Amino acid sequence: MNFLITGGCGYIGSLLIRKLPFAFNEKTNVTILDNLSSGKEYVLANLPSKAKYKFIKGDIRKKEDLQKALDKTDVVIHLAALTGSNNSFNLQDLFRQVNYEGTKALMETCLKHGVERVIYASSCNIYGGKLEKTKITEQSAINPPNPYAKSKYNGELECLKYFRKNKLPVTCLRLATNYGWSPGIRFNLTINLFTFKALIGDNIPVFGSGDDWRPFIHVQDTVRAIIMTIKAPEDVVNGEIFNVGSNEENYRINQIAEMVKDAVVNDVEIVYIRKDDPPCTYNVDFSKIKSILGFDANFSVLDGIKEIADRFQQLRQ
């Protein structure tokens, strides 16, 4: 089976490229397309010998790079994106170009190459600020709170348009906020950031009251959900949207801060920083992916906090 992973040097991709060869019994070829704007080339070191890997430094906005990367590809996992909701306000056009226009170009090229399966990594952030009494499902209204979320949602719409009009076999996965260790770990995500701050003796910064809800998922569970989607029957997942996470892993931000403070030995404090913007809160329901694909999280937030702390201590030794 031939895979293309866009953004394969990033946080999720750097773990996915290592797990894919062990998930399938057949011979596996993995092509990684990444422009290394945020991903790091060092994550390509010590890859499993079980698969054949090919790295292409390229941009999803460039059709010549896509043509080269998609040669003989069966499955595409589209992870490449500009991330960071706060940064997106100052870089709105760039976020639109990469996350929407790049996705559109990729879908068109996938169609021309006859790709058998496409997985699009979207985000639960697209739901925006919600004060609903019930948890948010895949049918809930979309209210992107920032240009990043808007660009991801527009990319989603483009993917589903290609499914409806051209029968391109696409599945959209709305991921909860990731945490945990991977070769390309990011420390600007809530749990990873709070844990890192506590480990180096800095106070834990919480903007606003911290009462806003977020869903979380360990990066290893994200990778497992992607693989389960690839393995699922086409008629079960094609054209579908799945929230990816666990109903037990929705937390308020101040709860996460307290968990980190309790788990890390260093004497640190939680510092609440005034925030005038309206709260962005979403408590998400993950029943669909559990009932249809049988997916649920194997890792808890506390597992992730302890894992990062252990890894950090190992690096210090």
**Domains of the chain from N-terminus onward:** 2-178+216-247 (3.40.50.720), 186-214+249-283+299-316 (3.90.25.10)
The rounded distance, in Å, linking the Cα atoms of 54 and 4 is 9
Supply angle C-alpha 165, 167, 172, rounded to 5: 95
| pLDDT of amino acid 86 | 84
**What pLDDT is attached to residue 267?**
86
Distances in Å between the Cα of 100 and the Cα atoms of 175, 215, 315 are 17, 24, 38
Angle, CA of 214, 282 and 232, to the nearest 5°: 80
Q: What token pair was written down for 123?
A: 């985000």
Sign of dihedral through CA atoms 10, 12, 14, 17?
A: negative
Query: Could you tell me the pLDDT band of residue 85, with boundaries at 50, 70 and 90?
Result: confident
- Position 312 scores a pLDDT of 85
What integer is the mean pLDDT of 215-233? 98
Nearest to 123 by CA among 150, 141, 103: 150
Residue 209 has pLDDT above 60, yes or no: yes
For residue 130, pLDDT over 70 is answered with no
Judged by phi (left if over 0) then psi (alpha if -120 to 50, else beta), residue 112 lies in alpha
DSSP conformation class of 275:
-
**How much is the pLDDT for 133?**
63
User: What is the average pLDDT score of the chain?
Assistant: 94
Element containing residue 198 per DSSP (H, E) = helix 190-199
Percent of residues, the chain, with pLDDT higher than 70: 97
What pLDDT, on a 0 to 100 scale, did the predictor assign at position 266? Answer: 74
**Mean pLDDT of all residues in 291-297:** 97
The tokens describing 204, both together, are 């834990």
Amino acid 315: pLDDT: 74
Among 70-79, 138-147, 246-255, 278-287, whose mean pLDDT is lowest? 278-287
Helices (H) and strands (E) in the chain, counts: 12, 12
Residue 317: pLDDT band with limits 50, 70, 90: low
At 188, is the secondary structure helix, strand, or coil?
Answer: coil
Q: Global pTM?
A: 0.96
Model confidence at 295: pLDDT above 90? yes
**In angstroms, what CA-CA distances link 101 with 40, 98, 204?**
23, 6, 37
Q: With bands split at pLDDT 50, 70 and 90, how would you rate the model's confidence at 280?
A: confident
pLDDT of residue 131: 57
Neighbours of 114 (CB within 10 A): 10
φ, ψ for residue 271 (rounded to 5)?
-110, 120
Q: Give the whole-angstrom CA distance, residue 70 versus residue 113.
A: 7
Q: Torsion angle, CA of 294/298/302/305, rounded to 10 degrees?
A: -120
pLDDT of residue 129 exceeding 80, the answer is no
